Amino acid sequence: MEISLEEAIKLIRSYTRPLAPVRLPLFGTLGCITAEEIVARMDQPPFPRSPYDGYALRAQDSLNASREAPVTLSVTGRSYAGIPSEVALGAGEAVRIMTGGVIPEGADCVIAQEQTDEGVLQVRIYKKLRPFENYCRQGEDFHCGVRLATCGIPVTAAVLGVASSTGCTELSVFPKPRVALISTGDELQTLGQPLGKGQIYSSNDPHLLGRMAELRIPVTENTNVRDEMDELTRAIEKASSNSDLIISTGGVSVGQRDLVPAALEKLGAEIVFHGVAIKPGMPAEFAVLHGKPVLALSGNPFASAVTFELLVRPALATLASDLRIDARIVKATLTDSFSLKCPVTRFQRGILKNGTVSIPGEQGNGQLKTMIGCNCLVAIPSSPESLPAGTFVDAYLLEGGIYGI
């Protein structure tokens, strides 16, 4: 007996354990979720610095300066970015300074060189400055001890930049789940090889690999296996040893060569459910093997695409502690009426635009072609009557997940 989609998702979430945090080199954490706060270890910038190419001076010395009546100061040193001046600055003195240079002790402002005659030993100042004018204070960006990022936020490029600026080289994050993908079927031929009679090229693994790449989920293994019990059990057993989640496609229904359920039982997996009241994808099975979740999906190309979005994404989101990977559902209205009745929720591929969704033809389980150009899956609720145009439905976005549509 099939269980409802809601029940299936609830079970997937409760049987899937979030992966424990790991410490990784900073750059390897991009796209993960932080498992610790990032706290500033120092002031940034660590010293007062110049925002301009010009001269550091004391504002007091520029009191009456103007273009008509410049003030002349002696240039006593140089401070370039990374090459600070060794001398402190006294009254009537200036230090030649470049952007990013340390403002020397004794100086309290910087004049841009355009406001001077750019003199070498002496410089004429054409403008009066206020104390701390053009002066980037130490800790202008942040002070030591300040919390820069909270636990539980996505590591973005900005997080990498800020963490680096405070000298952070490693970060504790919730890692991305590693997925093993197994496509089953005697009829599957490897791409590049000629097709024998009755053979087809596998479209499921390229499609699902593509989806996982779009969602930034690493895949550690991708194998095609024949409908042979030994081969299947070996492949599943091996997959469980180097992945956090196993996805299989094909061989999960009630046909004579549908061996995945028996293989999982033979391996001693805990079978959580087998059969979900949706179309397509009804035979989907969920099991736990050696603590690893296994999602066995129907091999029909559209069925595997639908169940990936509905069932695999919640499992990945739970493993990664990352809600962005979860299915994203928006409400939309049907552009046209929908007359195909179904005793269970039926998923159709659709084109969502400005809150309305249209459903192209050729939606068979084995037909993948019209997926191209579609940007959502539309949940058509079971209904004894056809649905009129304007009916509100759920649209599951087929977006690039973490990195937006």
Q: State yes or no: residue 222 binds ligand AMP (CB under 6 A).
A: no
Minimal distance, residue 194 CB to Mg ion, in Å: 21
Binds 249: which of ligand AMP, Mg ion, none (CB < 5-8 Å by kind): ligand AMP
101 binds Mg ion (CB under 5 A): no
**Between residue 51 and residue 80, which ones bind ligand AMP under the rule CB under 6 A?**
none
Task: Give, in degrees to the nearest 5, the angle at Cα 126 between 121 and 129.
Answer: 100
| 3-state helix/strand/coil string of the chain | CCECHHHHHHHHHHHCCCCCCEEEEHHHHCCCEECCCEECCCCECCCCECCCCEEEECHHHHCCCCCCCCEEEEEEEEEECCECCCCCCCCCEEEEECCCCECCCCCCEEEEHHHECCCCCEEEECCCCCCCCCCECCCCCECCCCEEECCCCECCHHHHHHHHHCCCCEEEEECCCCEEEEEECCCEECCCCCCCCCCEECCHHHHHHHHHHHCCCCEEEEEEECCCHHHHHHHHHHHHHCCCEEEEECCCCCCCCCCHHHHHHHCCCEEEEECECEECCCCCEEEEECCEEEEEECCCHHHHHHHHHHHHHHHHHHHHCCHHHCCCEEEEEECCCECCCCCCEEEEEEEEECCEEECCCCCCCCCCHHHCCCCEEEEECCCCCCECCCCEEEEEECCCHHHCC
The residue with tokens 């790991």 is 22
Closest CB to Mg ion among residues 251, 283:
251
How many chain residues are in contact with Mg ion, going by CB under 5 A? 4
Strands 170-174 and 22-25: antiparallel
Shortest reach from residue 206's CB to ligand AMP, in Å: 9
To ligand AMP, the closest distance from the beta carbon of 297 in angstroms equals 8
Of positions 104, 185, 281, 293, contacts Mg ion by CB under 5 A: 185
Residue list 149-208, contact with ligand AMP (CB under 6 A) = 183, 185, 187-188, 200, 202-205
62 binds, among Mg ion, ligand AMP, none (CB under 5 to 8 A by kind): none
Task: State the virtual CA torsion across 337, 343, 349, 354 in degrees, nearest 10.
Answer: 50
Binding mask 339-368 toward ligand AMP (x if CB under 6 A, else -) reads ---------------------------x--
Shortest distance in whole angstroms from residue 299 CB to Mg ion: 5
Pick the closer one to ligand AMP by CB: 177 or 251: 251
Which stretch, 18-26, 53-61, 299-307, 348-356, contacts ligand AMP (CB under 6 A)?
299-307
Nearest residue relative to ligand AMP (C-beta): 299
What character string, x for contact with ligand AMP (CB under 6 A) and - otherwise, covers 100-139?
----------------------------------------
Site membership for Mg ion, residue 251 (CB under 5 A)? yes
CA distances to 243, 255, 373, 375 from 360, in Å: 37, 30, 10, 12
Q: CB under 5 to 8 A by kind: which of ligand AMP, Mg ion, none does 183 bind?
A: ligand AMP
Q: Of 73 and 182, which CB lies nearer to ligand AMP in the complex structure?
A: 182
Residue of 44, 50, 115, 298 interacting with ligand AMP (CB under 6 A) = 298
- Decide if residue 250 touches Mg ion (CB under 5 A): yes
Q: Using CB under 6 A, which residues numbered 247 to 266 contact ligand AMP?
A: 249-251, 253, 255, 258
Closest CA to 181 of 245, 264, 263: 245
Task: Assess 299 for contact with ligand AMP (CB under 6 A).
Answer: yes
> Min. distance of Cβ 40 from Mg ion in angstroms?
56
Among the residue ranges 62-70, 90-98, 180-188, 315-323, the one whose residues contact Mg ion (CB under 5 A): 180-188
Interface contacts to Mg ion, rule CB under 5 A: 185, 250-251, 299
Interface contacts to ligand AMP, rule CB under 6 A: 183, 185, 187-188, 200, 202-205, 249-251, 253, 255, 258, 298-301, 366
